Amino acid sequence: MEKEKIIAFCYDFDKTLTPDDMQSQGFIQSLGVSSYDFWKETSETTRKGNMDSNLSYMYTMLKKYNEKSGPLTKDALQSYGVGLAFFPGVLNWFLLINKFAKTLGVKVEHYIISSGIKEMIEGCAIAKFFKKIYASSFYYESNIAVWPAMVVNYTNKTQFLFRISKGFLDETDERVNEAISPEDYRIPFKRILYLGDSATDIPCMKVVTNYGGYSLGIYDSVLSNSKRVERMLQEKRIWKYFQSDYRENSPLFVACCDIIREISLDD
Protein backbone atom coordinates (compact mmCIF):
# COMPACT_ATOMS: atom_id res chain seq x y z
CA MET A 1 0.00 0.00 0.00
CA GLU A 2 1.40 3.40 -1.00
CA LYS A 3 2.35 5.69 1.87
CA GLU A 4 0.21 8.74 2.45
CA LYS A 5 1.65 11.75 0.64
CA ILE A 6 2.32 14.48 3.19
CA ILE A 7 3.41 18.05 2.53
CA ALA A 8 4.99 20.17 5.28
CA PHE A 9 4.44 23.92 5.45
CA CYS A 10 7.09 25.40 7.75
CA TYR A 11 6.76 29.00 8.90
CA ASP A 12 8.85 31.56 10.64
CA PHE A 13 6.52 33.57 12.92
CA ASP A 14 7.48 37.19 13.58
CA LYS A 15 7.02 39.35 10.45
CA THR A 16 6.10 36.26 8.45
CA LEU A 17 2.68 35.54 9.94
CA THR A 18 2.42 38.52 12.30
CA PRO A 19 3.45 42.10 11.42
CA ASP A 20 5.75 42.72 14.40
CA ASP A 21 7.89 40.95 16.98
CA MET A 22 5.56 39.11 19.33
CA GLN A 23 7.20 40.68 22.38
CA SER A 24 6.33 44.13 21.01
CA GLN A 25 2.61 43.38 20.92
CA GLY A 26 1.78 43.75 24.60
CA PHE A 27 4.54 42.13 26.62
CA ILE A 28 7.08 44.94 26.38
CA GLN A 29 4.38 47.57 26.88
CA SER A 30 3.38 45.87 30.15
CA LEU A 31 6.90 46.50 31.41
CA GLY A 32 6.45 50.25 31.12
CA VAL A 33 9.20 50.65 28.53
CA SER A 34 9.16 51.28 24.80
CA SER A 35 9.99 48.58 22.27
CA TYR A 36 12.96 50.69 21.18
CA ASP A 37 14.39 50.82 24.71
CA PHE A 38 13.78 47.12 25.32
CA TRP A 39 15.58 46.02 22.16
CA LYS A 40 18.34 48.57 22.72
CA GLU A 41 18.98 47.13 26.18
CA THR A 42 18.90 43.63 24.70
CA SER A 43 21.51 44.61 22.09
CA GLU A 44 23.74 46.13 24.75
CA THR A 45 23.47 42.97 26.86
CA THR A 46 24.35 40.87 23.83
CA ARG A 47 27.45 42.95 23.17
CA LYS A 48 28.63 43.25 26.76
CA GLY A 49 28.07 39.61 27.60
CA ASN A 50 29.19 38.26 24.22
CA MET A 51 25.84 36.43 24.28
CA ASP A 52 23.65 34.73 21.74
CA SER A 53 21.11 37.42 20.88
CA ASN A 54 18.19 35.10 21.63
CA LEU A 55 19.54 34.24 25.07
CA SER A 56 20.01 37.96 25.60
CA TYR A 57 16.41 38.89 24.85
CA MET A 58 15.13 36.02 27.02
CA TYR A 59 17.34 37.23 29.87
CA THR A 60 16.02 40.76 29.40
CA MET A 61 12.42 39.52 29.39
CA LEU A 62 12.95 37.74 32.72
CA LYS A 63 14.88 40.60 34.29
CA LYS A 64 12.46 43.36 33.30
CA TYR A 65 9.33 41.36 34.13
CA ASN A 66 10.65 40.36 37.55
CA GLU A 67 11.46 44.00 38.30
CA LYS A 68 8.01 45.20 37.22
CA SER A 69 5.52 42.44 38.05
CA GLY A 70 7.26 39.67 39.94
CA PRO A 71 7.96 36.10 38.76
CA LEU A 72 7.17 35.37 35.10
CA THR A 73 4.85 32.38 34.76
CA LYS A 74 4.00 30.17 31.82
CA ASP A 75 0.36 31.23 32.08
CA ALA A 76 1.34 34.89 31.83
CA LEU A 77 3.44 34.29 28.72
CA GLN A 78 0.63 32.37 27.05
CA SER A 79 -1.79 35.19 27.86
CA TYR A 80 0.41 37.62 25.94
CA GLY A 81 -0.07 35.43 22.88
CA VAL A 82 -3.85 35.88 22.89
CA GLY A 83 -3.73 39.38 21.45
CA LEU A 84 -1.18 38.80 18.70
CA ALA A 85 -2.19 40.33 15.36
CA PHE A 86 -1.79 38.57 12.02
CA PHE A 87 -1.43 39.50 8.39
CA PRO A 88 -4.61 39.50 6.24
CA GLY A 89 -5.96 36.01 5.70
CA VAL A 90 -3.75 34.17 8.20
CA LEU A 91 -6.65 33.14 10.43
CA ASN A 92 -8.33 31.26 7.57
CA TRP A 93 -5.20 30.22 5.71
CA PHE A 94 -4.61 26.83 7.29
CA LEU A 95 -8.14 25.51 6.80
CA LEU A 96 -8.19 26.71 3.19
CA ILE A 97 -4.82 25.14 2.38
CA ASN A 98 -5.83 21.87 4.06
CA LYS A 99 -9.13 21.82 2.19
CA PHE A 100 -7.46 22.38 -1.17
CA ALA A 101 -4.84 19.68 -0.53
CA LYS A 102 -7.55 17.22 0.44
CA THR A 103 -9.22 17.64 -2.97
CA LEU A 104 -5.98 16.37 -4.50
CA GLY A 105 -5.62 13.43 -2.13
CA VAL A 106 -2.67 14.79 -0.16
CA LYS A 107 -2.27 15.91 3.45
CA VAL A 108 -0.69 19.14 4.66
CA GLU A 109 0.96 19.53 8.06
CA HIS A 110 1.88 22.95 9.41
CA TYR A 111 4.93 23.69 11.59
CA ILE A 112 6.43 26.74 13.26
CA ILE A 113 10.21 27.22 13.36
CA SER A 114 10.74 30.51 15.20
CA SER A 115 13.24 32.38 17.34
CA GLY A 116 10.28 33.84 19.21
CA ILE A 117 8.74 32.53 22.42
CA LYS A 118 6.98 29.17 22.20
CA GLU A 119 4.64 29.87 25.10
CA MET A 120 3.34 33.03 23.44
CA ILE A 121 2.73 31.18 20.18
CA GLU A 122 0.90 28.46 22.12
CA GLY A 123 -1.48 31.13 23.43
CA CYS A 124 -2.26 32.72 20.06
CA ALA A 125 -5.32 32.25 17.86
CA ILE A 126 -3.64 29.97 15.30
CA ALA A 127 -1.72 27.63 17.63
CA LYS A 128 -4.21 24.80 17.12
CA PHE A 129 -3.29 24.48 13.45
CA PHE A 130 0.34 23.47 14.02
CA LYS A 131 1.46 19.88 14.37
CA LYS A 132 4.55 21.11 16.18
CA ILE A 133 5.82 24.48 17.38
CA TYR A 134 9.59 24.82 17.48
CA ALA A 135 10.58 28.03 19.24
CA SER A 136 12.60 29.39 22.13
CA SER A 137 11.11 28.47 25.50
CA PHE A 138 11.73 28.68 29.23
CA TYR A 139 12.36 26.07 31.91
CA TYR A 140 9.85 26.32 34.75
CA GLU A 141 9.90 25.50 38.44
CA SER A 142 6.41 25.60 39.99
CA ASN A 143 5.18 27.34 36.81
CA ILE A 144 7.78 30.11 37.17
CA ALA A 145 10.28 30.74 34.36
CA VAL A 146 13.79 30.42 35.73
CA TRP A 147 16.06 29.57 32.79
CA PRO A 148 15.99 29.08 29.01
CA ALA A 149 14.98 25.53 28.12
CA MET A 150 15.32 25.88 24.35
CA VAL A 151 16.92 28.56 22.23
CA VAL A 152 16.15 28.64 18.51
CA ASN A 153 18.48 30.83 16.48
CA TYR A 154 19.12 31.22 12.77
CA THR A 155 21.67 28.42 12.52
CA ASN A 156 20.07 25.73 14.68
CA LYS A 157 16.71 26.30 13.00
CA THR A 158 17.80 23.84 10.33
CA GLN A 159 17.80 20.86 12.74
CA PHE A 160 14.03 21.15 12.95
CA LEU A 161 13.67 20.77 9.21
CA PHE A 162 15.43 17.41 9.50
CA ARG A 163 13.23 16.43 12.43
CA ILE A 164 10.16 17.21 10.35
CA SER A 165 11.52 15.45 7.28
CA LYS A 166 12.70 12.31 9.11
CA GLY A 167 9.69 12.18 11.41
CA PHE A 168 11.53 12.47 14.74
CA LEU A 169 9.61 15.47 16.01
CA ASP A 170 10.52 15.49 19.69
CA GLU A 171 13.30 18.01 20.43
CA THR A 172 15.22 15.45 22.52
CA ASP A 173 14.98 12.55 20.05
CA GLU A 174 18.58 11.85 19.03
CA ARG A 175 17.51 9.54 16.20
CA VAL A 176 17.40 12.64 14.03
CA ASN A 177 21.18 12.22 13.62
CA GLU A 178 20.93 8.65 12.35
CA ALA A 179 21.75 7.91 8.73
CA ILE A 180 18.49 7.33 6.90
CA SER A 181 17.99 6.88 3.18
CA PRO A 182 16.15 9.89 1.70
CA GLU A 183 13.47 7.58 0.30
CA ASP A 184 12.65 6.58 3.88
CA TYR A 185 12.12 10.14 5.10
CA ARG A 186 8.58 10.64 6.34
CA ILE A 187 8.37 13.91 4.37
CA PRO A 188 11.02 14.26 1.65
CA PHE A 189 12.47 17.77 1.35
CA LYS A 190 10.91 18.13 -2.08
CA ARG A 191 7.57 18.18 -0.23
CA ILE A 192 8.59 20.92 2.21
CA LEU A 193 7.72 24.60 1.90
CA TYR A 194 9.46 27.17 4.08
CA LEU A 195 8.03 30.67 4.51
CA GLY A 196 10.22 33.36 6.05
CA ASP A 197 11.00 37.05 5.88
CA SER A 198 14.56 37.85 6.88
CA ALA A 199 18.23 36.93 7.07
CA THR A 200 17.59 34.72 10.10
CA ASP A 201 15.61 32.41 7.80
CA ILE A 202 18.36 32.07 5.20
CA PRO A 203 19.93 28.84 6.54
CA CYS A 204 16.53 27.10 6.46
CA MET A 205 15.71 28.58 3.08
CA LYS A 206 19.00 27.41 1.66
CA VAL A 207 18.63 23.87 3.02
CA VAL A 208 15.10 23.52 1.67
CA THR A 209 16.09 24.96 -1.71
CA ASN A 210 19.20 22.80 -2.04
CA TYR A 211 17.22 19.64 -1.28
CA GLY A 212 14.55 20.36 -3.88
CA GLY A 213 11.88 22.02 -1.74
CA TYR A 214 10.29 25.45 -1.96
CA SER A 215 11.46 28.48 0.01
CA LEU A 216 9.17 31.50 -0.16
CA GLY A 217 10.14 35.00 0.93
CA ILE A 218 7.44 37.06 2.63
CA TYR A 219 7.44 40.85 2.90
CA ASP A 220 5.07 43.30 4.55
CA SER A 221 3.08 44.99 1.80
CA VAL A 222 2.22 47.93 4.09
CA LEU A 223 5.87 48.68 4.82
CA SER A 224 6.89 47.73 1.26
CA ASN A 225 10.13 46.21 2.58
CA SER A 226 10.71 43.85 -0.31
CA LYS A 227 14.42 44.57 -0.76
CA ARG A 228 15.49 41.79 1.63
CA VAL A 229 13.52 39.11 -0.17
CA GLU A 230 14.48 40.49 -3.59
CA ARG A 231 18.10 39.98 -2.61
CA MET A 232 17.33 36.45 -1.40
CA LEU A 233 15.90 35.67 -4.83
CA GLN A 234 18.95 37.13 -6.58
CA GLU A 235 21.18 34.97 -4.39
CA LYS A 236 19.04 31.91 -5.22
CA ARG A 237 18.10 31.29 -1.61
CA ILE A 238 14.38 31.32 -2.32
CA TRP A 239 12.05 30.16 -5.08
CA LYS A 240 9.88 33.30 -5.18
CA TYR A 241 8.73 36.09 -2.87
CA PHE A 242 5.27 37.41 -2.05
CA GLN A 243 3.43 40.11 -0.16
CA SER A 244 2.12 39.19 3.27
CA ASP A 245 -1.40 38.56 1.97
CA TYR A 246 -2.66 35.12 2.98
CA ARG A 247 -6.21 35.58 1.74
CA GLU A 248 -7.81 33.12 -0.66
CA ASN A 249 -6.86 33.86 -4.28
CA SER A 250 -3.95 36.11 -3.26
CA PRO A 251 -0.73 35.51 -5.26
CA LEU A 252 0.73 33.68 -2.25
CA PHE A 253 -2.29 31.42 -1.88
CA VAL A 254 -2.42 30.64 -5.61
CA ALA A 255 1.32 29.87 -5.71
CA CYS A 256 1.07 27.50 -2.74
CA CYS A 257 -1.89 25.73 -4.33
CA ASP A 258 0.14 25.33 -7.52
CA ILE A 259 2.97 23.78 -5.50
CA ILE A 260 0.57 21.40 -3.78
CA ARG A 261 -0.87 20.42 -7.16
CA GLU A 262 2.60 19.81 -8.58
CA ILE A 263 3.60 17.68 -5.59
CA SER A 264 0.38 15.69 -5.81
CA LEU A 265 1.30 14.67 -9.37
CA ASP A 266 4.90 13.79 -8.49
CA ASP A 267 5.72 10.09 -8.16
CA geometry: angle at 92 spanning 221 and 161, to 5°? 80
Please tell me the predicted confidence (pLDDT) of residue 261: 97
Predicted local confidence at residue 46, as pLDDT: 96
CA–CA separation, 132 and 166 (whole Å): 14
User: Integer distance in angstroms from the first to the last C-alpha of the chain?
Assistant: 14
Max CA pair span of the chain: 59
Name the packing angle between helices 157-166 and 202-210 (round to 10°). 40
Phi and psi for 144 in degrees, rounded to 5? -110, 130
**Helices of type H across the chain:** 27-30, 35-49, 53-69, 74-81, 90-103, 118-122, 157-166, 202-210, 227-234, 251-265
Q: What is the pLDDT, as a whole number, of residue 154?
A: 84
**What are the distances in angstroms from CA 252 to CA 33, 200, 203, 256?**
36, 21, 22, 6
Q: Which of 113, 155, 121 is nearest to 138 (CA)?
A: 121
* The predicted structure's pLDDT at residue 198: 86
- State the Cα–Cα distance between residues 230 and 179, nearest whole angstrom: 36
Q: What is the pLDDT along the chain (267 residues), one digit of tens a residue?
A: 357 899 999 999 999 999 999 999 999 999 999 999 999 999 999 999 999 999 999 999 999 999 999 999 999 999 999 999 999 999 999 999 999 999 999 999 999 999 999 999 999 999 999 999 999 999 999 999 999 999 999 889 999 999 999 999 999 999 998 899 888 899 999 999 999 998 889 999 999 999 999 999 999 988 877 888 999 999 889 999 999 999 999 999 999 999 999 999 986
Q: Domain residues of the chain, as ranges?
A: 6-19+86-137+149-265, 23-81
Amino acid at 261: R
What's the pLDDT score for residue 4? 83
CATH architecture of 6-19+86-137+149-265: 3-Layer(aba) Sandwich (3.40)
Nearest alpha carbon to residue 239 among 205, 215, 204, 222: 215
Q: What pLDDT does residue 37 have?
A: 95
- The span from the CA of 43 to the CA of 224, in Å, is 26
